[in-house]
Structure 1
Amino acid sequence: MSRQIEFLHPEPLPRTGRVWPVFLPFAGCPYRCLFCAQDRQTGRDAATLREARDSLVRDLESALAAGHGPYELAFYGGTFTALPAPWPETFLALAARFRDAGLISRVRCSTRPDCADPASLARLRSLGLDMVELGVQSFDDQALAASGRGYGGETARQGCRAVREAGLALGIQLLPGLPGDRPGVFRRDAGIVAGLAPEIARLYPCLVIRGTGLASAWECGRYAPWTLERTRRELAAALPVLWAAGVRVVRVGLAPEGALERDILAGPWHPALGQSVRGLALLGLVEDAAKRLGQRPMRLNVPRRYQGELFGHGGELRGEYAALGLPQRAIRYADSAGFVLL
């Protein structure tokens, strides 16, 4: 009788619902970090907060009239908790108005760890804020200092704890490959995030973008970004660590918004980086199952929801599966919850 190994994908199930992003480039930011180019990353030029509010009101009213939603309203691109008064309250009051109308189901914002004190966060929670995503970038003192972040690793940890103490859901963003990076830094960062067990994480490998301080450092030979292959391998190794801690990794790599791709000078940019990394992580799960099987596998049954990432981007992993004994003809897709290797 042939043996078989059954296993589930360890990735936590995604939340239902759609996110409505509101970009506030640089708003409230106390620093301009070496790598930062939010105007290019968001595809939005700097706009006044009043203009952003007025535009949001018009768009939400149109969506409500059309019967759309519900949405999770997300304020990105700036340091929401450091916006000048009364703008945090203004935006949250606006969100509450449309939440009462049934259009908005949840509200989140992004901010810096050093702009996240428990009392202020608790007040914002009382006004309707549900989640805070912290742009931690790294917990490593050397990488943070070299990037001009203005805080150290302990402050980053304190910011995460403050979000929790305020009764808010936590999200963490990491930027692997920062200036000051050394072997093992990202692996340690991923382990710290797993220990903190946020609801979500985002992994944005550091890119050299035109007009940033990092671009000047790269041009002078003082900074070398990660290669695409190293990025794929490091991030693919981190995903199972985060998944095992119940962390949903909602983004890998920057989205190709606006003029971003045109302004990338160097670094591990790929429009399908997430698919490539997730496929490589899944390959690792299958390889582990093959070791436990104890014999050369003959067939792999795959849940249909993973059909688009099994072979990575553009079928880049077909050779690795064939080397395992699983050429494309040995793969079967099914409406099932788990994988079966035999």
Structure 2
Amino acid sequence: MKPFGMIPFFIPHVGCPYVCTFCNQSRITGQSGISHLTPDYIKDTIADYVGSKRNDKYWEVAFYGGSFTAIHTELQHQLLAPASEMLKSGIIDGIRCSTRPDAVGDEAISLLLSYGVKTVELGVQSMNDGILVDAKRGHTAQEVVDAVARLKQRGMTVGVQLLPGLKGETWETILETAIAVVKLEPDFVRIYPVLVIENTELADQYRSGEYKPLSTEQAITYCAFLKEWFEQHNIEVIRTGLQSSEELDSGNSLVAGPYEPAMGELVINEQYKQRIERCFDEHFSESFSESSFGDQYTYNFSTLSNHYSYKVECRTHVNNIDRLMQNRIVISYPRNLTSKVRGLKNRNILYFQEKYPQFSIDWCEDSTRNTVRCCIDGLQYVL
């Protein structure tokens, strides 16, 4: 498959009937207004992006930042027409937009389809109604369910955007959202931990002590859980954390919160850290069954631990049973996963050294395998 090439057009706040407590799109994107988005500008921008690389990527125009289907129909036509023209002429491969769950009625979907739009991303944020009310979203969790069903019935590709860390968020509400989103069966998910942006109600709540943002480590943990959960249910997570921008990097707009340009990498690091630690828990809890096969034993591990499930099978000779508690551990991985397993700046290695000083842990590249393995006293766990 070709790599994805996105051609973004931001429409901050246009069409939004509400002002959410966390939202200041102009601050996040560094852009205000859409008067520059003329048909000629859109076509010229597309041509500049594609250039001589037409066949190198799957090129897709994306209308982001606002509630696209909630803006005036006339403006939707103005924005979609030049993109649709480029689609029909074969210069791009697709068009997508982002919008609100309560703004995708049958007529709105028909308009999108008439211009060749095939992908719609919904700003869901949470599936807990209390959190949605506090954030002044103006829609309910049930409206999300209805919107996804309508879009999928019309053959649209559906994405869901989540904002872990809103006011009132707990592990219970994270689980509620995770379970509910899986039931929706979206095609993909984006996860953006909440940031406190200047000139928002959330910034006022933060300064008054009414709202406490997630720490970076909390955000990484929430995101790692959500990503692992969705991936286990065959739902792709295409992004975790906001994309780095000059406005956010300058610090002028960011009041507080877990802004980390490398959030995506840190979340993957956390996934591997938790997988390795679950191997430790399973092995040293001795919560396994054993059945004799002549001079061998087979160990079957099947568990639901910390909301994750996995199954591993491995064998060892009877003569090796007395070696099970020698605490020698080898983590092996292919070269292309080295940074993901060891962690950014070796954060995972340092974590295990500090938490498990009694263990001898070797971290080894193994170019003969394409999977990550945790070997404890001869027993192998595939992560």
TM-score range, shorter chain: 0.7 to 0.9
1:157: how far off? 1.8
- Which of 312, 315, 318 is equivalent to 2:346? 315
- Which of 247, 260, 280 is equivalent to 2:270? 280
What residue in structure 1 maps to residue 183 of structure 2? 195
CA contact (8 A) 2:38 2:79 kept: no
After superposition, the C-alpha distances for 1:225-267 in whole angstroms (9 at most, x for unaligned) are 1222222222212221100111111111112213124121111
Distance 1:84 1:233 in 2: 40
Question: What residue ranges of structure 2 are gaps of 5+ in the alignment?
Answer: 283-300, 302-313, 315-323, 376-383
Helix, strand or coil: the match of 1:255?
Answer: coil
Question: Which amino acid is the alignment partner of residue 338 of structure 1?
Answer: T
Identity %: 28
Map 1:246-325 → 2, pairs under 5 A:
246-261=234-249, 262=251, 263-290=253-280, 291=282, 292=301, 296=327, 298-322=329-353, 323=356
- Structure 1 residues 206 and 62: CA distance shift in structure 2, 3 A: closer
What residue in structure 2 maps to residue 6 of structure 1? none
Map 1:186-225 → 2, pairs under 5 A:
186-225=174-213
Higher alpha-carbon deviation: 74-83 or 317-326: 317-326
Distance 1:336 1:17 in 2: 28
Question: Which amino acid is the alignment partner of residue 274 of structure 1?
Answer: G
1:122: how far off? 3.3
Helix, strand or coil: the match of 1:142?
Answer: helix
Helix, strand or coil: the match of 1:300?
Answer: strand
- Structure 1 residues 124 and 297: CA distance shift in structure 2, 3 A: farther
Map 1:93-132 → 2, pairs under 5 A:
93-132=81-120
After superposition, the C-alpha distances for 1:101-138 in whole angstroms (9 at most, x for unaligned) are 33311211100001111342133123201111000111
- Tell me if 1:31 matches 2:62: no
CA contact (8 A) 1:299 1:332 kept: no
Distance 2:16 2:26 in 1: 13
* Greater strand proportion: 2
Map 1:147-186 → 2, pairs under 5 A:
147-186=135-174
Distance 1:270 1:228 in 2: 8
1:82: how far off? 1.4
What residue in structure 1 maps to residue 28 of structure 2? 41
Distance 1:305 1:297 in 2: 25
CA contact (8 A) 1:37 1:211 kept: yes
- Which of 122, 125, 133 is equivalent to 1:134? 122
Q: Provide TM-score, normalisation by structure 1.
A: 0.87
Distance 2:132 2:61 in 1: 29
- Tell me if 1:51 matches 2:37: yes
CA contact (8 A) 2:42 2:83 kept: no
Question: Which amino acid is the alignment partner of residue 275 of structure 1?
Answer: E
CA contact (8 A) 1:106 1:129 kept: yes
- Tell me if 1:85 matches 2:73: yes
CA contact (8 A) 1:41 1:254 kept: no
Which protein, 1 or 2, shows the higher relative CO under an 8 Å CA cutoff with sep ≥ 6? 1
Helix, strand or coil: the match of 2:93?
Answer: strand
Aligned-residue RMSD, C-alpha:
2.4
Which structure has the larger Rg over C-alpha atoms?
2
- Structure 1 residues 285 and 118: CA distance shift in structure 2, 3 A: farther
Distance 1:65 1:146 in 2: 45
What residue in structure 2 maps to residue 19 of structure 1? 6
After superposition, the C-alpha distances for 1:53-87 in whole angstroms (9 at most, x for unaligned) are 43222122334553445412111001111121223
CA contact (8 A) 1:300 1:326 kept: no
Size of the aligned set, in residue pairs, is 327
Question: Which amino acid is the alignment partner of residue 58 of structure 1?
Answer: D
1:15: how far off? 7.5
Question: Which amino acid is the alignment partner of residue 60 of structure 1?
Answer: I
- Which of 360, 364, 382 is equivalent to 1:331? 364
